[in-house]
Amino acid sequence: MKKILYVGLDVHAETIAVGVAESGRDGEVRSLGTIANRLEAIRKMVKKLQQQGDLRACYLPLLAAHAAQRGM
């Protein structure tokens, strides 16, 4: 069974800060830094993270988050 990765996105007009928490009591929590708020960057990040586990994502539904939603 693949592990679950919880992905948090802090979406801004030009950038997205990305954080990941692994499931379980001892799961690691880490910042992955920032990516461009562009569809291609979001898709690349999602593809990379999907290799590590099943994804669950959350973000604040602000106007700047629209591109992030399309990419997921």
Q: What is the mean pLDDT of the chain?
A: 86
pTM: 0.78
Q: Mean pLDDT, to the nearest integer, of 43-71? A: 79
**Is residue 25 very low, low, confident or very high in pLDDT (cuts 50, 70, 90)?**
confident
Q: How far apart are CA 65 and CA 3, in angstroms?
A: 26
Answer yes or no: is 72 within a domain. no
Could you give the number of structural domains in the chain? 1
Task: Kindly state the helix (H) or strand (E) to which residue 47 belongs, with its residue range.
Answer: helix 39-50
pLDDT higher than 70, residue 64: no
**Domain containing residue 23: CATH number:** 3.30.420
Residue 36, domain extent: 4-67
* pLDDT of 50 strictly over 70: yes
**Which pair of structure tokens corresponds to residue 5?**
């990765």
